[in-house]
Amino acid sequence: MRILLGQTLHYVANPFEGPPEEAVRHERRGAVAIADGKIAAVGPADDIRAAHPGAEVTDYGDALISPGFIDAHAHYPQTAIIASWGKRLIDWLNAFTFPEEMRFGDAAYAHEIAARYFDLTLAAGTTTTVSYCTIHPESVDAYFTEARRRGLRALGGKTCMDRNAPDGLRDTAETAHDQSRALLEKWHGVDRLGYVITPRFAPTSTPEQLEALGALWADHPEVLMQTHLSEQTEEIAWVAELFPEARDYLDVYDRFGLVGKGALMGHSIHLGPRERARLKEAGASLIHCPTSNTFIGSGLFDMAGLMAEGQTVGLATDTGGGSSFSMLRTMAAAYEVGQLRGTALHPAQLWWLATQGSARALHLDDRIGTLAPGMEADLAVVDLASTPAIAQRAARADDLWQAVFPTIMMGDDRAVVAVYVGGALVNI
């Protein structure tokens, strides 16, 4: 048994469904006990220590022991082209993304970038990622192999595209189906890995490919499905041209059985009332990617409105359309997007989105995202005074959230002082 000492917090309710502060229980001097890769106990430090006198104790002082962050939408193959200047979505894909993704048929390169990606995300305190790979099965093998080596709970899948992508970066309806199925059978449920069926987005799939992937999902309802939905206005107009028979963007996916519980709809910014009602009815998850939405100039996600109508929402970097690997920076961007829409998201809501909220969106909230006995011991220990600028502001804090908010707004990987994966301390 190992005991970590520090500040702890856990949620007793959804902070979007009542006063945010009341959704949280906080221990100023708390402890998390870990045994066999799981959280064994959480509570006041004195109680936990007294209950386990032989345990090895690590004292993190005033640092906050949090569930590891959960990044619900990312593209690990875009690691090396993050922060590419000057384009909106479609041009950005053609100019930067597709040429880079072309390289992932080379297994050695795919492994190099996957390893780099997990180094960067772990350093940022992220312990679960949900990633698009490329059309190449090698890119999926590299992602899962590197995740498994690190003991991570990680999700991902082969990105399928059979049109509107360059030569060398297209599969077919049939190979998309067959390769996805083979990778699903190879990786889903191995250790802590999960496969995700991944049509990139409507413009890069023929109706035949969407149909084939809908059929695969029907055969394997135990896995998640991820795609992009209503990110940019030009994209939406293009989808309307490509699928004139569809009522709206969501209906394209719906016609092929790709809207349901377990669907992760990246971005979901420009939605009509019919689409919102259908997403809610289907129990699909909407994944908010705020640094990407401002970086590529996509628009402002309606967090307050969507939460008020009871949608399931996760938070994500969308690396490398997103401009950061850090979920702290991502929380800050979500706050800024909220402000631009006239709603100040509370720090308790932001932290929840990056942990338990994303876990719920992935239907993994019974295993990760919460400090509670029985949960997998994926933890990020966060210093709330990691730089002089943050420390001098946090020193003025009157309560927990005033102490946490400067780290949300100004923190980066320097704030993450320790990371545990499956109860083991990771070298970051």
Q: How many CB atoms lie within 10 A of CB 168?
A: 13
Nearer to Zn ion, 8 or 268 (CB): 268
Task: Kindly state whether residue 97 participates in binding ligand GUN, applying the rule CB under 6 A.
Answer: yes
Task: Kindly state whether residue 231 participates in binding Zn ion, applying the rule CB under 5 A.
Answer: no
Task: Kindly state whether residue 164 participates in binding ligand GUN, applying the rule CB under 6 A.
Answer: no
Site size toward ligand GUN, by CB under 6 A: 12
Among 10, 111, 153, 200, binds ligand GUN (CB under 6 A): 200
Q: Scan residues 225-264 and list those touching ligand GUN (CB under 6 A).
A: 228, 231
Nearer to ligand GUN, 226 or 356 (CB): 226
Q: CA angle 39-45-50, nearest 5°?
A: 90
CA distances (Å), 189 to each of 116, 136, 162, 216, 421, in order?
24, 21, 28, 17, 17
Q: CA angle 136-358-134, nearest 5°?
A: 10
Nearest to 145, CA basis, from 101, 181, 100, 190:
190
x/- binding map, residues 249-268, to Zn ion, per CB under 5 A?
-----------------x--
Nearer to Zn ion, 66 or 97 (CB): 97
Task: Kindly state whether residue 321 participates in binding ligand GUN, applying the rule CB under 6 A.
Answer: yes
> Any residues with CB less than 8 A from the CB of 207 and at least 6 apart, and which?
243, 256
Q: How far is the CB of 142 from ligand GUN (least distance, A)?
A: 18
Q: How far is the CB of 297 from ligand GUN (least distance, A)?
A: 11
Task: Kindly state whether residue 292 participates in binding ligand GUN, applying the rule CB under 6 A.
Answer: yes
Computed from CA positions of residues 243, 245, 248, 250, in that sequence, does the dihedral angle turn out positive or negative?
negative
> Among 9-17, 20-28, 89-97, 416-424, which window interacts with ligand GUN (CB under 6 A)?
89-97
361 touches 314 (CB < 8 A) = yes
Q: Which residue is nearest to Zn ion (CB)?
A: 318
x/- binding map, residues 47-76, to ligand GUN, per CB under 6 A?
----------------------------x-
Instruction: Give the 3-state secondary structure of residue 313.
Output: strand
Q: How far is the CB of 89 from ligand GUN (least distance, A)?
A: 6
To the nearest 10°, report the CA torsion of 348, 353, 356, 361.
150
Provide DSSP, 14-67: -TTSS-GGGGEEEEEEEEEEEETTEEEEEEEHHHHHHH-TTSEEEEEEEEEEEE
Q: Choose the one of ligand GUN, Zn ion, none that binds residue 315, judging by a C-beta under 5 to 8 angstroms depending on kind.
A: none
Nearer to ligand GUN, 248 or 365 (CB): 248
Q: How many CB atoms lie within 10 A of CB 149?
A: 11
Instruction: Give the 3-state secondary structure of residue 76.
Output: helix
Number of helices (H), then strands (E), belonging to the chain: the values are 17, 16
Among 27, 318, 378, 413, binds ligand GUN (CB under 6 A): 318
CA 138 – CA 106 distance, rounded (Å): 7
Q: Choose the one of Zn ion, ligand GUN, none that binds residue 412, judging by a C-beta under 5 to 8 angstroms depending on kind.
A: none
Task: Kindly state whether residue 318 participates in binding Zn ion, applying the rule CB under 5 A.
Answer: yes
Nearer to Zn ion, 75 or 188 (CB): 75
Q: How far is the CB of 318 from Zn ion (least distance, A)?
A: 5
Q: How far is the CB of 69 from Zn ion (least distance, A)?
A: 17
Task: Kindly state whether residue 158 participates in binding ligand GUN, applying the rule CB under 6 A.
Answer: no
Q: Which residue is nearest to ligand GUN (CB)?
A: 321
Q: Choose the one of ligand GUN, Zn ion, none that binds residue 97, judging by a C-beta under 5 to 8 angstroms depending on kind.
A: ligand GUN
Computed from CA positions of residues 179, 174, 129, 257, in that sequence, does the dihedral angle turn out positive or negative?
negative
CA 166 – CA 348 distance, rounded (Å): 44
CA 367 – CA 152 distance, rounded (Å): 13
Can you give the binding site for ligand GUN, defined by CB under 6 A? 75, 89, 93, 97, 200-201, 228, 231, 292, 296, 318, 321
Can you give the binding site for Zn ion, defined by CB under 5 A? 266, 318
